[in-house]
Structure 1
């Protein structure tokens, strides 16, 4: 495979579980916060720790955001996990101040990487508990049934979630590979070209999660069927 898979470190949490998951399925992975290392990666994993605004502030200031976008633009396989999925999109409303801003509030939005069109917004419910934590189902779309990352993942598979924000309805339907129904129906996985993202944590999702990580390693190696 040459260069390793790089797990991007934006200084917001423990990333070792992702590295261990990739290693368990035979992937060579390393953690790095260095934009030049990210640019030279064989594959990139953007993990799910911290808040949207905090993560984007660090990635922009450090040069990581530009490095990720340049690598993705060259066709380097990319996997966003949880918050890493949300950061792929144009904007999110998770602010550092923790306030819930109204739809017309100019302070509502934080710009994301903008690799895919759409928004990540707060899950709101007076009946169901938020954050959404625990095992839940993913339902495959037609795009999902063709997605190399989801090869061998059955319809209705149970995976592990922990999040308070999710992709909104302005995400393009053609990019959605799975949907999950909690508070609202939201895109829980996406795919466009060399870009993949999952709202759940494959490194915490038992055999199904390891299948997904195996598939990503195969994609990086050019062995995906």
Structure 2
């Protein structure tokens, strides 16, 4: 069972539906024991970084996520959920993240239209089980105004170009992030979720 953390950050029914399509059992929860007993955790998210961190801290879930990451449990962060895994965000201030991966989150430059919304391609930087049957230049669906910066090159699995390099898939030990929405990314997104499920097992 995969625990999808349901802390009020967006519509996550479509994510649960996508997981069921690739035969991955999941539950929406904020219950700490359920999260601890799950095989893996997905942290979704849309909206503002500070509001999301305040919600996680208010529910006592930030500490739980950190504990489970330290114990080696597979974690997947989607869109804002990926950004929350990093050390800091400069979205309307300077906010502390979960600090599971080194790097910060900054606004996409105004040389391009912000938010970055719609389909964009993936360029792969290293081999990973996450990329099984994912071709170079596969399209995935983005909706975001902020992106990871100051990150570690060895954590970068795939990137996209939009006003510069956007880290699109990252992985540090047992912690994985996808800046796009796999549940809105058609067959490519379903394959990525399937690959995450196979890494769990």
**Offset at 1:40?**
1.8
- SS of equivalent to 2:166: strand
Tell whether 2:144 aligns with 1:159: no
1:68 to 65, 68, 71: 65
2:37 matched to which residue of 1?
40
- Residue 182 of structure 2 corresponds to 202
Calculate the TM-score normalised by the size of structure 2: 0.96
The number of residues matched between the two structures is 201
Q: Please give the residue correspondences for 1:177-216 in structure 2 after superposition, counting only pairs within 5 Å.
A: 177-216=157-196
| Alignment match, 2:116 | 132
Moved >4 Å (runs of 4+): none
SS of alignment partner, residue 103 of structure 2: strand
Structure 2 unpaired stretches of 5+: none
**What secondary structure, in the 3-state scheme, does the structure 2 residue paired with 1:133 have?**
strand
Please tell me the root mean square deviation across aligned C-alpha atoms, in Å: 1.1
Q: Give 1 or 2 for the bigger CA radius of gyration.
A: 1
Cα deviation code 1:145-187 (max 9, x no counterpart): 2x1122111111110001001011x100000111111012121
TM value normalised by structure 1: 0.86
Structure 1 unpaired stretches of 5+: 96-107
Give a deviation string over 1:16-42, Cα, whole Å, max 9, x none: 011111110000000001222212211
Whole-Å separation in 2 of the counterparts to 1:12 and 1:83 = 9
**Alpha carbons 2:9, 2:44 under 8 Å: kept:** no
Asked whether 1:90 is paired with 2:83, we answer no
